[in-house]
């Protein structure tokens, strides 16, 4: 019994100590609202097991990148890869962003539950978001105006949608409504019969209807094998290879417990 107490004390001291990469006595995470549920669940598990405080903010992938570059967070959670200009900005400050894939995600295209449309092609979705198709009648639905919902420019989900659906340099219509989070998009679509929006899979529930893309619905197998065309990795970035408690936190994604957490949140574990 005495030996067990000593080992427990040593464990607490080890993980409560601050490694050279940690900010302000714990782990600080900022970034994606999509990755937010994973980061928060990992933080709760980590604090409970190792007594290490973890602070999670969700100001968007772009702000997560800025935080890592400026040294205000230990981990940038991002639903897209860092852009070239972000990596260049990091280099000017001596920061070396290293990406760690923690899960896979599908971007679900969602409509109001009353909408009879069951699927669209990627080209049709792009045409809707460009403003070239303005009525559901144009894609086999009712004669009703399409209310286009997007995310803010700082959103990693917005960036991934632009890359995977719209194509490089294609602009979304100025008539699109902008929402600040996955939850806000879901609420707007669920209360608006003519709306269309996009969400990370972990945010989908019965309040919205998920439609297929190119004849494929987002599912664990379709996302994992790449047949669902609007899929992406989710990342946590560190400055260089992580050490100490930051490494322990990042490594959680590869453990049995970490994979369980990711799966329960509706994402796909690596």
Q: What is the DSSP string of the chain?
A: -HHHHHHHHHHHHHHHSPPTT-STTSEEEEE-TTTHHHHHHHHHHHHHHH---EEEE-S-HHHHHHHHHHTS-SEEEESSPPPHHHHHHHHHTT--EEEEEEEEEEEEEEE-TT----EE-HHHHHHHHHTS--BGGGGTS-S-B-EEEEE-TT-HHHHHHIIIII-TTPPPPTT-EEESSHHHHHHHHHT-TTEEEEEEGGG--TTSEEEEETTB---HHHHHTT-SSSEEEEEEEEESS--HHHHHHHHGGGSHHHHHHHHHTT-B--
In this predicted structure, what is the pLDDT of residue 136?
98
Domain membership of residue 120 (yes or no) is yes
In this predicted structure, what is the pLDDT of residue 270?
79
Residues in the chain: 270
Same domain, 184 and 237: no
Same domain, 156 and 212: yes
In this predicted structure, what is the pLDDT of residue 25?
64
Same domain, 171 and 64: no
Same domain, 31 and 130: no
The domain of 161 spans 105-231
Cβ-in-10-Å burial (0-12, 13-18, 19+) of 221 comes to exposed
Given a cut of 70, the residues of the chain with pLDDT beneath it are 1-25
Domain membership of residue 55 (yes or no) is yes
Per-residue pLDDT of 14-57, as tens digits, reads 333 334 345 546 899 999 999 999 999 999 999 999 999 999 99
- CA distances 127 to 69, 148, 172, 174, Å, are 36, 11, 9, 13
Beta bridge partners of 148: 196
Average pLDDT, the chain: 90
Same domain, 137 and 202: yes
CA–CA separation, 210 vs 72, rounded Å?
37
pTM over 0.85: no
Domain CATH for 209: 3.40.190.10
In this predicted structure, what is the pLDDT of residue 168?
84
In this predicted structure, what is the pLDDT of residue 11?
42
How many structural domains compose the chain? 2
Domain membership of residue 269 (yes or no) is no
Same domain, 178 and 196: yes
In this predicted structure, what is the pLDDT of residue 22?
53
The answer to whether 107 touches 143, Cβ cutoff 8 Å, is no
């Amino acid at each position: 019994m005495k030996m067990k107490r000593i080992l427990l004390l040593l464990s607490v001291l080890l993980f409560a100590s601050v490694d050279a990469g940690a900010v302000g006595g714990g782990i600080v995470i900022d970034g994606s609202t999509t990755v937010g549920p994973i980061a928060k669940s990992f933080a709760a598990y980590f604090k409970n097991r190792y007594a290490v405080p973890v602070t999670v903010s969700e100001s968007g992938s772009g702000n997560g990148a800025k935080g890592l570059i400026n040294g205000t967070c230990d981990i940038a959670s991002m639903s897209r890869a860092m852009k070239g200009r972000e990596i260049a900005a990091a280099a000017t400050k001596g920061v070396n962003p290293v990406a760690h894939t923690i899960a896979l995600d599908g971007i679900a295209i969602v409509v109001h539950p009353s909408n009879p449309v069951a699927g669209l092609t990627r080209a049709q979705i792009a045409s809707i978001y460009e403003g070239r198709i303005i009525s559901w009648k144009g894609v086999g639905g009712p004669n009703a105006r399409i209310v286009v919902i997007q995310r803010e420019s700082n959103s990693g989900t917005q960036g991934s949608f632009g890359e995977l659906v719209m194509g490089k340099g294609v602009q979304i219509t100025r008539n699109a409504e902008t929402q600040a989070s996955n939850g806000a998009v879901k609420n707007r679509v669920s209360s608006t019969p003519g709306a269309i929006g996009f969400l990370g899979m972990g945010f989908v529930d019965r309040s919205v209807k998920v439609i297929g893309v190119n004849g494929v619905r987002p599912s664990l197998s379709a996302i994992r094998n790449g047949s669902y065309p609007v899929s992406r990795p989710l990342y946590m970035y560190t400055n260089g290879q992580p050490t100490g408690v930051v490494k322990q936190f990042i490594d959680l994604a590869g453990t049995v417990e970490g994979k369980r957490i990711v799966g329960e949140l509706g994402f796909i574990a690596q």
